[in-house]
Amino acid sequence: MPHRATPSTKAAQAAATQADPRWAAVAARSAAADGSFWYSVQTTGVYCRPSCAARAPRPENVRFHESCADAEAAGFRPCQRCKPRQPTALSHHAALVTEACRIIEGAAAGEAPTLDALAAQMGLSPSHLHRIFKQSTGLTPKAYAAAQRAQRLRSALDNAPTASVTDAIYSAGYQSSSRFYEQSAQVLGMTPSRYRAGGAAQDIRFAIGQCSLGAILVAQSDRGICAILLGDDADTLVRDLQDRFAQAHLIGGDTAFEALVAQVVAFVEAPGLGLNLPLDVRGTAFQQRVWQALQAIPAGQTASYAEVAQRIGAPTAVRAVAQACAANALAVAIPCHRVVKSDGALSGYRWGVERKRALLTRETAPEPTQPLAEKAA
C-alpha cells in the first residue's frame, strides 16, 4: 500500500513550502518568475509554471523543480493549461532583445542601425521593438548603441596608448570630435586625455563615517557620488578607493562634505528616505545595463541573477550578471543587495552576506513615524 502522510507530516511540508520564497511567486501567479523554476502538485500529478491560472494548490502538496526535465523525472506530466514546456512571452521577448543587442554590437563603428532599420531587420514594428528593448534592458536601442560606442572608445584609449586621442574617437564611431567633446563628461566622466592618464589631476573628495553596518566611505567627483563602500576597517576602505582612482587627487572632506556623508548614512539606515544625489556611475556597457536593472527593483523586493539576466535581454549571462553586481562600487545606491539566488538564498555580496541580510530586512520593515533626528533624541 502507498504510504499515506500523517497530519503532522502534512503540516511540516506545508510550513516548508510556505517558507520557500518560490511559494509567494506561485501564490501571486507571478509571470516574472516563469522560467526560473516550476512546481508540481502531488494530488494531480502535473507540474506548472509559476503563473499558471489553475486552481491554487494546497502548500503541502507542492514540490519545486529547477527544470521541466527535473519535474518529469520525478514522475509529473506537463499541465495542459499553462503548457510549461512552451516558451513564455517573457522568454520570447528576451530572445528578441538578445538578437537586437547582438546586431548593435556587431555593427561596424559608426554604423549602428537606426530603430527603423533594426526593427525591419528583425521583422518587428519600431514601437514594439523600442518597448520590449527598454523593458528588458532599461535602455533604448539608441542609448544601448551609444553605450557600445563609449565602450569601444575606452578600449581604444586603454589598448592603443600610441594612437592619438582623435584617432581613438573616430575609430570608436564618433563622427565629430567636437560633438564628442561636448559629451565627454557623460561618456568617460572626464576628458579623454585625463582618462588615458588614469584620472590624473582629477579631484575626488571623500570621508569616512559609521553606520549600523560598520564603516562607510563616501567619495564624490565633480559629476557626483562615485563610491559608497562598506566594511569593518576604515583603512581598508581608503586603500580600496586609492586602487580604484589610482591617479586622482584624493581630498579629505570638509564639514560640508561630511553633511553629504550623513545624508548617505541616513539612507542606509532608512531606505524609504530615498537618496536624491547625482551619481557618477562608471562601468562597461554591460555593467551599466545590469546596474540600471538593479535600480528598477523596488525597495523590499528581490530578483534572482537569472531574472536580471532575462530583464537585460541576456538570459544566458547569469554569471556575467553576478560579476557586474560584484563590480558595483555604489553600495545601496545601486542595490545589488536585492539580487538573490534562484531559491531565494542570499549570496555573493562584496560587503558580506550579513550586511545584505540586514539591508533587505530594514527595507521590508515599517518606516519610522518620526524623523531619525527626533527618534535619536
* 8-55 tens-digit pLDDT: 788 888 888 988 888 988 988 887 677 778 999 999 999 999 989 888
Is 336 annotated in the active site? yes
| pLDDT band for position 124 (cuts 50, 70, 90) | confident
What are residue 139's phi and psi, to 5 degrees?
Answer: -125, 155
Residue 248 and residue 302 in contact, taking contact as beta carbons nearer than 8 Å: no
Could you say which of 48, 79, 101, 325 is catalytic? 48
Dihedral, 248, 230, 344, 94 alpha carbons, nearest 10: -20
Residue 62 has pLDDT above 90, yes or no: yes
Is 48 annotated in the active site? yes
Residue with cell 541580510: 357
What are residue 47's phi and psi, to 5 degrees?
Answer: -125, 155
Of 168, 155, 244, 250, the closest CA to residue 207 belongs to 250
Burial 280-292 (b: 16+ CB within 10 A, else e): bbbbbbbbbbbbb
**pLDDT tens for each residue of 148-173:** 776 666 665 555 454 555 555 555 45
Of 333, 322, 326, the closest CA to residue 216 belongs to 333
Confidence (pLDDT) at 110: 54
179 burial type by CB count under 10 A (0-12 exposed, 13-18 middle, 19+ buried): exposed
Burial 139-156 (b: 16+ CB within 10 A, else e): bebebbbbbbbbbbbbeb
The x, y and z cell numbers of residue 294, run together, are: 538593479
* Angle in degrees, 0-180, between the axes of helices 126-137 and 141-159, rounded to the nearest 10: 60
Cα gap 238→253, rounded to integer Å: 13
Cα gap 329→231, rounded to integer Å: 12
- E strands in the chain: 38-41, 46-48, 62-65, 77-78, 203-211, 214-220, 225-231, 249-252, 303-304, 339-340
Confidence (pLDDT) at 348: 78
Confidence (pLDDT) at 375: 39
Residue 353 and residue 346 in contact, taking contact as beta carbons nearer than 8 Å: yes
SS3 108: coil
Residue 105 has pLDDT above 50, yes or no: yes
SS3 227: strand
Cα gap 278→63, rounded to integer Å: 46
The x, y and z cell numbers of residue 317, run together, are: 549571462
Could you say which of 52, 79, 101, 336 is catalytic? 336
Cα gap 266→376, rounded to integer Å: 12
